[in-house]
Amino acid sequence: MLANLTLVVAGLILLIWGADRFVHGAAATARNLGVAPLLIGLTVVALATSAPEILVSVVAAIDDQPGLAYGNAIGSNIVNIGLVLGLTSMIRPIKLESATLRREMPALLAVSLLTVSLFLDTYLSQIDGIVMLTGLVIVMVWLTRLGMRSAVNDPIKIDYEAEIPSDVTMPMAMVWLSIGLAILLVGAKILVYGAVGIAEMLGVSEVVIGVTIVAFGTSLPELAVSLASALKGEYGLAIGNIVGSNIFNLLAVIGVAATIAPSALAPSVLSLHIFVMVAFTLVLFAMTYDYDGKSELSRLEGAALLIAYLAYDGYVISQNI
């Protein structure tokens, strides 16, 4: 058990560091190619921050552990909303001032419902995976068009302009991109090996390990970005990071896993985890809807999200370990 825990911790450390370098390299490369910062943030950075989940999904699917991949994607979305946004807004209320971000929220809800519809037959086929990956392309195109139509003074546009590196040479950006990807691959392999070992020793399914330990670990980059952004007053980036990551977690992570390794879904995915994820998404949508003129996630709302996340995680652990 100690050896497997060590592998999981080592894998998470490599994933966190690799994700940071991969995002840095990808954003700098795109900027050097002349891509607008807002487009980089909405597409390149959003996809890159989901790189840990995507790489874990690929490795798990290749190793015939699709339950770990699905659990990781669903669990990461729950962690992102419940823990990351909950904790961040408790520390500093998050203002939702970006019109671009308000348009992204319905997209996240639509993607979540698409995932549920594909899960209802309790089997994810290659066709389902291709549908999700096609949806990913459509969302990427839509986000690009959304970014092009955004107002010049949109707060999230200003946030991305400030944060995306502009002083990195193209050769250096490519070096960091390559190093980040290589570290991500190694970290994902080590993490999956250790997580499967823990699941076997505890006698629980890979889904349970995926929605708890692995989901928490692969969401740490999002936690770091959202906390740092909120503390700097970059509220659009703090919540935009989560919305974009959650969209890509579902379409890319589950889409890749289903395409590589079609499989039946564990009963708990349909009976509990997927509906908890949708519930968190609906609650976030309601909390960020501008019905009272405030358009913010308050400390009280953040506390509610965090308590709900801890209750969910506590229930899963108590029922399985």
Task: Please check the confidence at residue 200 and state whether its pLDDT lies above 70.
Answer: yes
* Rounded CA Rg of the chain: 18
**How many CB atoms are closer than 10 A to CB 252?**
25
pLDDT for 225 equals 81
Residues near 279 by Cβ (< 8 Å), separated by ≥ 6?
none
d(CA 262, CA 255): 10
> Percent of the chain at pLDDT above 90?
34
When pLDDT is averaged across residues 53-60 and rounded to a whole number, the result is: 87
Task: Please check the confidence at residue 236 and state whether its pLDDT lies above 80.
Answer: no
- Give the global pTM: 0.89
When pLDDT is averaged across residues 46-62 and rounded to a whole number, the result is: 85
pLDDT for 218 equals 84
Domain boundaries, the chain: 2-320
What backbone torsions phi and psi does residue 294 show, to the nearest 5 degrees?
Answer: -90, -40
pLDDT for 115 equals 92
CATH architecture of 2-320: Up-down Bundle (1.20)
Give yes or no for a contact between 63 and 200, defined as CB atoms under 8 angstroms apart: no
Mean pLDDT of the chain: 87
pLDDT per residue as tens digits for the range 74-111: 999 999 999 999 999 998 888 877 777 777 888 899 99
